[in-house]
């Protein structure tokens, strides 16, 4: 019997597959559905202290390489979010599935102020979204481009939240490892890598204008996979904390790549576009089949891609 | 690796297709019905009654609309029909379109109605009427018996009445299927004097209801709740179409959730027992 269980920052997950933030929102019903269909943990949509409507439509498009989105971090505000997460947490605990709350702010104080509300919901982990590329025009460069800014946000939250803390990084940061070190040094227990890439743009040639109302949006899905795998690989080599490897995973072999690069858990976002939350069961099955094929009984092959030679040929 | 790696269920790309307004038919002072021609004469959309499309006006907005009708001509060119009730900035912009104007459409999305039996009762309130026409046409083409109740605030707000009526005459369907169209208005200016809810109840209480095989409804949620309750009471299968504000239309963002379902992906059409459970979840 193959064992998919993992421990993420002290939290036990029945399998490594995690619903990524922003997919399916924060409503208890949707998060529980992902849990019922096989997620090991679920991440709620990022919330800020104050409510945000987000950008007008079009906000999400499907293209050959995956999705591009500029939802614009719409959320009901941290107080209302905490209420939703309380209900979600209650229902999720029946499934033994962990709840990850996601928080963002426009200033380090903004992060802490939002977390102050979210703490009431007692999520299993809190993830700091310092890396959204869709609100740059509004908020300026993401925190995740700057080790000092990331450190400041992490430090502020660390003072008010004693539970497991993740910091979600950007694949665009040229100094990814420096940003990660800054997060870990100021109290992050783990990292989520990565948020969407870009921003990118899709122009409708008949309309002669960008399709997204925000003009630009974050690129996710298949196109992101090799970049995300490389980010996870670099991070795993540099810092000694668990990583949720997220970006472009849509098959068991994609998840296995993430784990071999050093990820403890694997995030799924755009993959739900194709098939809803049944994707969790499918990817778990594919992962198990691959592990059987390769003779692995559990996920202890994590990080094997860092060893030279990678693995013995049998 | 093909053994363990199944491929996806959804098409890979869902880009917009460009359509041009071919005909603009005013619907009283409620809005318009637009016949749209696919500019590139691409393959017709395969549309199930009750499905919807996302309509984009560049630099303005993108919103969901039911597909009222789809027709393919001899050249393989297809016409898509939408009916728009003007209730705000985007629907007003659509109503202002003139023949020759372009608009951008992706879809179809969601799951539609399933015909059950051969005697059907369709109940449409306001722009919800739009969601029912293709279903009525499909049923009429199969020679089924239909009662269609269309409700609105007043006579001038009723939509698609002639189109539904034509199903029983020399309209698009050969033969003479039995299609009875009944009207209801809040102010009594046409048909039954009362709200869509009241009209639905009047029909529900009439012998028609007990003798029909299945009920289908789209309109204000208060009306849908009453229809569902009555259908459950009479033991008649019932499907309703829900509306929620949408962003992606792709089942990704979660904006359109109702309980543990997404209106754009699992719906918009649900069986009444499902929807009743969803309403209970929402009330919790
Ligand atoms: C699956 C689906 C199918 C639809 N099919 C059709 C259709 O065939 N024809 C059609 O005319 N409309 C249809 N709609 C509704 C249509 O999408 C909205 O009317 C439209 O988005 C309103 O945009 P607006 O900018 O004109 O108004 P907004 O400014 O967005 O809305 C104006 C006011 O109306 C309220 N409102 C918004 N949507 C609705 C609604 N659906 N019902 C009642 N009040 C609302 C808003 O809260 C606001 O107060 C459908 C909606 C869904 C989800
Ligand atoms: C529609 C959409 C909304 C998203 N919203 C958020 C968000 O609110 N917070 C966040 O940290 N990431 C958000 N993301 C990023 C995802 O969590 C994930 O990091 C990214 O999409 C890459 O993974 P994927 O390729 O599996 O989708 C969003 C992604 C999409 C597609
Ligand atoms: S609009 Fe339905 S999930 Fe985005």
pLDDT at residue A311 tops 70: no
Minimal Cα distance from A202: which residue of B?
A: B15
| Chain A nearest C-alpha distance from B100 (Å) | 15
Q: How far is CA A28 from the centre of its chain?
A: 18
Q: Is A179 in the pocket of ligand 2 (CB under 6 A)?
A: no
A34 touches chain B (CB under 8 A): no
Q: Is A129 in the pocket of ligand 2 (CB under 6 A)?
A: yes
Of A62, A71, A209, the CB nearest to B253: A71
* Residues A63/A202, Cβ–Cβ less than 8 Å: yes
Considering chain B, tell me which residue range(s) the CATH 2.40.30.10 domain(s) occupy: 13-109
C-alpha A117/C-alpha A221 separation (Å) is 32
Cβ within 8 Å of residue B138, ≥6 positions away: B49, B115
Q: How far away, in angstroms, is B63 Cα from ligand 1 center? A: 8
For chain A, give the mean pLDDT.
94
| One pLDDT digit (tens) per residue for chain B, 284 residues | 333 333 334 444 578 999 999 999 999 999 999 999 987 777 667 889 999 999 999 999 999 999 999 988 877 788 999 999 999 999 999 999 999 999 999 999 999 999 999 999 999 998 999 999 999 999 999 989 899 999 999 999 999 999 999 988 655 666 666 888 989 998 888 888 887 667 767 776 776 666 789 999 999 998 999 899 988 888 899 999 999 999 999 999 999 999 999 999 999 999 999 999 998 888 77
| A43: in domain | yes
C-alpha A153/C-alpha B143 separation (Å) is 67
Ligand number nearest to the C-alpha of B241 = 1
Contact across the interface for A29 and B8, Cβ inside 8 Å? no
DSSP assigned state of B107: E
Exposure letters B266-278 (e unless 16+ CB within 10 A, then b): bbbbbbbebbbeb
Considering chain B, tell me which residue range(s) the CATH 3.40.50.80 domain(s) occupy: 115-241
DSSP A111-126: HHHHHHHHGGG--SEE
The pair phi, psi for residue B7, each rounded to 5°, is -100, 165
Minimal Cα distance from B249: which residue of A?
A: A60
| Chain B nearest C-alpha distance from A34 (Å) | 9
Indicate the length of chain A as a whole number. 314
pLDDT tens-digit series, residues A255-310: 999 999 999 999 999 999 978 999 999 999 999 999 999 999 999 999 999 987 66
C-alpha A256/C-alpha A279 separation (Å) is 15
DSSP A256-311: HHHHHHT-SEEEESTHHHHHTTHHHHHHHHHHHHHHHHHT-SSSTTTTGGGSSSSS
* Prior bond of A7 cis (ω within 30°): no
| Chain B nearest C-alpha distance from A194 (Å) | 18
Q: Is A248 in the pocket of ligand 2 (CB under 6 A)?
A: yes
* Residues B246/B64, Cβ–Cβ less than 8 Å: yes
Which atom of ligand 1 has the smallest separation from the CA of B61? 25
Q: Is A75 in the pocket of ligand 2 (CB under 6 A)?
A: no
Helix (H, G, I), strand (E, B) or coil at B218: strand
The 10 Å Cβ neighbour count of residue A223 is: 21
Which atom of ligand 1 has the smallest separation from the CA of B267? 1
Residue A136: band (very low, low, confident or very high) from pLDDT cuts 50, 70, 90? low
Which value, to the nearest 10 degrees, does the dihedral of the CA atoms of residues B241, B245, B250, B251 take? -80
Contact across the interface for A57 and B63, Cβ inside 8 Å? yes
Of A74, A253, A274, the CB nearest to B8: A274
Q: Of A115, A185, A124, whose CA–CA distance to A150 is shortest?
A: A185
Q: Looking at B88-237, which runs of residues are DSSP E strands? A: 102-109, 119-125, 145-152, 179-185, 192-193, 214-218
C-alpha A80/C-alpha A120 separation (Å) is 11
C-alpha B132/C-alpha B111 separation (Å) is 13
In the predicted model, what is the mean pLDDT of residues A112-120? 97
Residue A250: band (very low, low, confident or very high) from pLDDT cuts 50, 70, 90? very high
| A72: in domain | yes
C-alpha A121/C-alpha A84 separation (Å) is 8
The 10 Å Cβ neighbour count of residue B194 is: 17
The 10 Å Cβ neighbour count of residue A227 is: 16
Q: Looking at A97-228, which runs of residues are DSSP E strands? A: 98-103, 125-129, 165-169, 190-193, 197-200, 203-204, 209-210, 217-220
Token pair for residue B84? Answer: 């728009």
Ligand number nearest to the C-alpha of B268 = 1
* A63, A205, A273, best to mutate vs chain B, most B CBs in 10 Å: A273
Q: What pLDDT, on the 0 to 100 scale, is given for residue B5?
A: 37
| Fold topology of B13-109 | Elongation Factor Tu (Ef-tu); domain 3 (2.40.30)
Q: How far away, in angstroms, is A176 Cα from ligand 2 center? A: 18
DSSP B266-278: T-BEEEHHHHHHH
| Chain A nearest C-alpha distance from B278 (Å) | 9
In this structure, what CATH number is given to the domain that contains residue A169?
3.20.20.70
List the domain range (segments joined by +) for residue A129.
6-306
Q: Is A164 in the pocket of ligand 2 (CB under 6 A)?
A: no
Catalytic residues of A: 132
C-alpha A122/C-alpha A311 separation (Å) is 41
DSSP assigned state of B48: -
* Residues B227/B134, Cβ–Cβ less than 8 Å: no
* A26, A28, A29, A53, best to mutate vs chain B, most B CBs in 10 Å: A29
CA geometry: angle at B244 spanning B243 and B246, to 5°? 120
Q: Is B94 in the pocket of ligand 1 (CB under 6 A)?
A: no
Under CATH, which number does the domain B115-241 receive? 3.40.50.80
Helix (H, G, I), strand (E, B) or coil at B12: coil
What ipTM does the predicted assembly reach? 0.92
Chain B contacts of A56, Cβ < 8 Å?
61
Count of domains for chain A: 1
| A314: in domain | no
* Prior bond of A232 cis (ω within 30°): no
C-alpha B219/C-alpha B150 separation (Å) is 10
């Amino acid at each position: 019997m193959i064992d998919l269980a993992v421990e993420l920052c002290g939290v036990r997950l029945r399998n490594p597959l995690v619903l990524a933030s922003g997919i399916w929102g924060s409503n208890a019903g949707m998060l529980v559905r992902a849990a019922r269909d096989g997620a090991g943990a679920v991440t709620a949509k990022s919330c800020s202290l104050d409510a945000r409507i987000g950008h007008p439509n079009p906000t999400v498009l499907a293209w050959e390489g995956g999705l591009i989105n500029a939802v614009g971090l719409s959320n009901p505000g941290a107080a209302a979010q905490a209420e939703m997460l309380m209900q979600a947490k209650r229902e999720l605990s029946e499934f033994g599935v962990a709840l990850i709350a996601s928080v963002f702010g426009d200033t380090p104080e903004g992060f802490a102020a939002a977390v102050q509300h979210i703490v009431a919901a007692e999520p299993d982990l809190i993830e700091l979204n310092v890396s959204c590329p869709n609100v740059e025009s509004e908020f300026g460069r993401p925190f995740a481009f700057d080790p000092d800014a990331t450190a400041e946000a992490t430090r502020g939250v660390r003072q008010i939240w004693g539970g497991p803390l993740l910091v979600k990084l950007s694949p665009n940061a040229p100094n990814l490892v420096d940003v990660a070190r800054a997060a870990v040094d100021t109290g992050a227990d783990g990292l989520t890598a990565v948020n969407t890439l870009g921003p990118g743009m899709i122009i409708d040639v008949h309309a002669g204008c960008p399709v997204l109302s925000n003009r630009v949006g974050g690129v996710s899905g298949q196109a992101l996979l090799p970049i995300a795998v490389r980010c996870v690989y670099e991070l795993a080599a540099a810092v000694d904390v668990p990583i949720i490897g997220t970006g472009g995973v849509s098959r068991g072999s994609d998840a296995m790549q993430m784990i071999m690069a050093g990820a403890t858990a694997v995030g799924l976002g755009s993959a739900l576009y194709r098939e809803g939350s049944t994707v969790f069961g499918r990817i778990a099955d594919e992962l198990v089949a691959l592990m059987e094929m390769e003779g692995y009984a559990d996920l202890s092959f994590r990080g094997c891609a860092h060893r030279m030679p990678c693995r013995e040929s049998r | 690796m093909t053994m363990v790696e199944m491929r996806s269920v959804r098409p890979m790309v869902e880009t917009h297709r460009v359509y041009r307004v071919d005909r603009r038919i005013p619907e009283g002072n409620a809005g318009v019905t637009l016949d749209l021609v696919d500019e590139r004469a691409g393959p017709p959309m395969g549309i199930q009654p009750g499905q919807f499309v996302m309509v984009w006006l560049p630099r303005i907005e993108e919103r969901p609309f039911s597909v009222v009708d789809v027709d393919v001509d001899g050249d393989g060119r297809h016409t898509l029909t939408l009916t728009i009730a003007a209730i705000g900035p985007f629907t007003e912009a659509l109503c202002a379109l003139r023949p020759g104007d372009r608009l951008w459409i992706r879809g179809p999305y969601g799951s539609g109605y399933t015909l059950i039996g051969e005697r059907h009762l369709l109940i449409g309130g306001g722009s919800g009427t739009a969601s029912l026409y293709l279903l009525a046409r499909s049923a009429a083409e199969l020679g089924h018996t239909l009662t269609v109740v269309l409700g609105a605030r007043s006579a001038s707000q009723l939509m698609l009445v002639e189109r539904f009526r034509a199903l029983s005459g020399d309209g698009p369907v050969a033969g003479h299927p039995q299609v009875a169209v009944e009207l209801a208005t809040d102010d009594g200016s046409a048909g039954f004097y009362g709200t869509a809810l009241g009209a639905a109840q009047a029909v529900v209480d009439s012998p028609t209801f007990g003798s029909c095989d299945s009920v289908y409804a789209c309109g204000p949620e208060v009306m849908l709740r009453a229809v569902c309750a009555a259908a459950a009471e009479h033991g008649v299968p019932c499907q309703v179409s829900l509306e929620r504000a949408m962003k992606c239309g792709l089942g990704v963002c979660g904006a359109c959730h109702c309980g543990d379902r997404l209106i754009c992906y699992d719906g918009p059409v649900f069986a009444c027992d499902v929807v009743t459970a969803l309403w209970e979840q929402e009330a919790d």
